Structure 1
Amino acid sequence: MSDFSNALSVSASGLKAQAQRLQHVSENIANADTPGYRRKTVSFEATHAGTGTAGAVTVSRVHLDQSAPQRIYDPSHPLADETGHYQGSTVDLMIEIADAREAQRSYEANLKMFDQVRQMSAGLMDLLRR
């Protein structure tokens, strides 16, 4: 049964990681028009072998996008400098939408794996009862 619990743990760690990724993507989309906002990104790390669950992942620290923010011309904006420009955000909505879809599909794949393991475990229990 430990193989089933390991598979469930790996799947659950993937679900948590993708949920956190989707949270940061939604924050980026919500702040796309916020002046000076820097896009947040996360990366995944394999958990250490000491935990006993090979293949599980965790989310590493949040990283801020270091690219130069776009300069927007709007002399009436309160943050505009003497040339009429202010710094926009580093969020590109097309990238965020693509990241959201990727996170959603990865979440669904982990959920499907979790369900398959659960069904296999239930089937094994049915066989053992006979």
Structure 2
Amino acid sequence: MTDFSDALSVSSSGLRAQAQRLRHVSENIANADTPGYRRKTVPFELESGGPGAAAGVRTGRVNLDRSELARIHDPSHPLADATGYYDGSNVDLVIEIADAREAQRSYEANLKMFDQARQMSSSLMDLLRR
């Protein structure tokens, strides 16, 4: 049964990591028009399960994208400098939507793996009861 529980723990760690990633992507999308906002990215790290246990994945520290902020010309904006420009955000909605779709599909794949391991475990228990 440890193989089944290892499969469940690996897929559940993937579910948690993709949910965290999707949370940060949604924050980025929500703040796309916020002046001075920097895009958040979250790396995945290998999570060792200890000796004899399956490894999983976890999210690392949240990183801020250090790429150049968009310069927006709007002299009437309260944050505009003497030249009429202010710093926008560095969020690209196309990239965020692609990241959200990738995270969603990875989440679904982990969910299917979790469900398959659970069904196999249940079928094994049914066979052992006979």
Q: TM-score, normalised by structure 2?
A: 0.97
**How far has the Cα of 1:54 moved from its partner?**
2.7
Q: Who is 2:71 aligned against?
A: 71
What percent identity do the matched residue pairs reach? 76
Instruction: Give the CA RMSD over aligned residues.
Output: 1.0
Is 1:96 matched up with 2:96? yes
Runs of 4+ aligned residues of structure 1 deviating over 6 Å after TM superposition are: none
Determine the C-alpha separation between the residues in 2 that align with 1:108 and 1:85.
Answer: 43
- Output the amino acid matched with 2:19: A
Is 1:129 matched up with 2:117? no
Q: Who is 1:80 aligned against?
A: 80
| 2:3 match: secondary structure | helix
Q: Who is 2:56 aligned against?
A: 56
From the superposition, tell whether residues 98 and 122 of structure 1 become closer, same or farther in structure 2 (CA, over 3 Å). Answer: same
Gap regions ≥5 residues in structure 2: none
Is 1:47 matched up with 2:47? yes
Gap regions ≥5 residues in structure 1: none
Q: TM-score, normalised by structure 1?
A: 0.97
